Amino acid sequence: MNKLKAHIENIALHHTIFDLPFAYMGAFLAAGGVPDMFVLLWITLAITGARSAALAIDNLVDLKYDRVHPRFTRRPMVTGAVKPWEAKLLIVVSLLVCIFAVYQLPSICIKLLPLAALPFVIYPFMKRITCACHAVLGVSIAMAPAGGWVAVRASIDFEMIVLCAAVGIWIAAFDAVYGAQDEKFDREQGLHSLATAVGAAAAMNMAKVFHVLCIGCFVWLGVIMNLSWPYYLGVGIAAVTLVYQHSLLKPDDFHNLTQMYFMRNGIVSVAMFVCTWVGFYI
């Protein structure tokens, strides 16, 4: 049980709250209501498998940095609770689960899978190359609503692109804020982030602008899809959550950037999905 717990912690399974609700939202919007339950099952397995592989890859690639990072001393791969070979095995199994699930969906899904998987495979390496690494993570998470949409409609539509833009901008901006606390460490290790490029204060201000753009995209989506008022309630909850989150941090004070702060961003994805779902009954 301790080994299982270590693996679950290593892949941060609870972080599926950031992408799975948006995958469901994409599926519900594409269906104009509740999709087939089996489609939702395969979407769930595909997203969970992909997410698990992505986190394991990230932790494996960054292990040499995590071992010297003061905040990561308790990570399972740093403590040795999860061995590198075990992480590699989990990556393979997770990818196989993802591929199997995607095969149960329309054929366009498996054709697009390599393109959808590319961002999360290259993301860990982007920190070594460019301060735009946050954008790559945003694209990775945006593949969740894209996958949900295509799994139902078997097509790529403009509305889907707007939804993906909103989700991608949201998570990229959040990652830029989260990464701002590591500005000093990243500079010392030769890693890149928005904070190392422009400073923590400027990075956090840019994140605020991008989060406004994110909310704008959500509003635009509601307009072009003629969604009912509960959807806009979800947008409002998301906006208030983001404003509150930004109010907790200062460029020289990250003591509020706790695990609770991190997970509170899940309110955005859950509120958007639930309110979208409810909107189909109003």
What digits encode the pLDDT tens for the residues 152-211?
A: 999 999 999 999 999 999 999 999 999 999 999 999 999 999 999 999 999 999 999 999
Name the burial class of residue 32, with classes exposed (0-12), middle (13-18) and buried (19+) by CB atoms within 10 angstroms of its CB: exposed
Instruction: Output the pTM of the full model.
Output: 0.94
b (16+ CB within 10 A) / e for 43-59: bbbbbbbbbbbbbbbbb
Number of compact structural domains in the chain: 1
Half-sphere exposure of 26 (CA within 13 A, CB side): 36
What digits encode the pLDDT tens for the residues 218-257?
A: 999 999 999 999 999 999 999 999 999 999 888 888 888 8
Amino acid symbol at 244: Y
Q: What pLDDT is attached to residue 77?
A: 92
Q: What pLDDT is attached to residue 166?
A: 98
At 187, which CATH number?
A: 1.10.357.140
Domain hosting 250: range is: 2-279
